[in-house]
Amino acid sequence: MSGKWAVLLSVLAVTITLLNLAILAGQIPAMAAAHSASAGKLFDDDDFNEGLTKITRKSIRDWRTVGKRNGIDC
């Protein structure tokens, strides 16, 4: 009797796994399309671009001055 239960549970586990994979496969293209549409709108926003440029420049400036602040010769 326990062998039948093991087979039944194995079949159930494989079925649920395949169902989850099918659901995931259907969601990935939808998420990618939504992200690409919103990213296009985001990069058209001038405030976002200015803020991103400011953060990037500050990060690079900080990165370049790390050794100089502490007297370390890089």
Return the top range by mean pLDDT from 1-5, 10-14, 38-42, 45-49: 10-14
Domain span holding position 39: 2-64
Residue 30: pLDDT over 60: yes
Residue 71: pLDDT over 80: no
Residue 71 lies in a domain: no
DSSP, collapsed to helix, strand or coil, labels residue 74 as coil
Q: What pLDDT is recorded for position 37?
A: 66
Residue 74 lies in a domain: no
Q: What pLDDT is recorded for position 69?
A: 60
Residue 70 lies in a domain: no
Residue 22 lies in a domain: yes
> How far apart are the C-alpha atoms of 71 and 68, rounded to whole Å?
5
Number of domains within the chain: 1
Q: What pLDDT is recorded for position 74?
A: 52
Residue 72 lies in a domain: no
Residue 49 lies in a domain: yes
Q: What is the pLDDT of residues 7-24, one digit of tens each?
A: 999 999 999 999 999 888
The amino acid present at 16, given as its one-letter code, is I
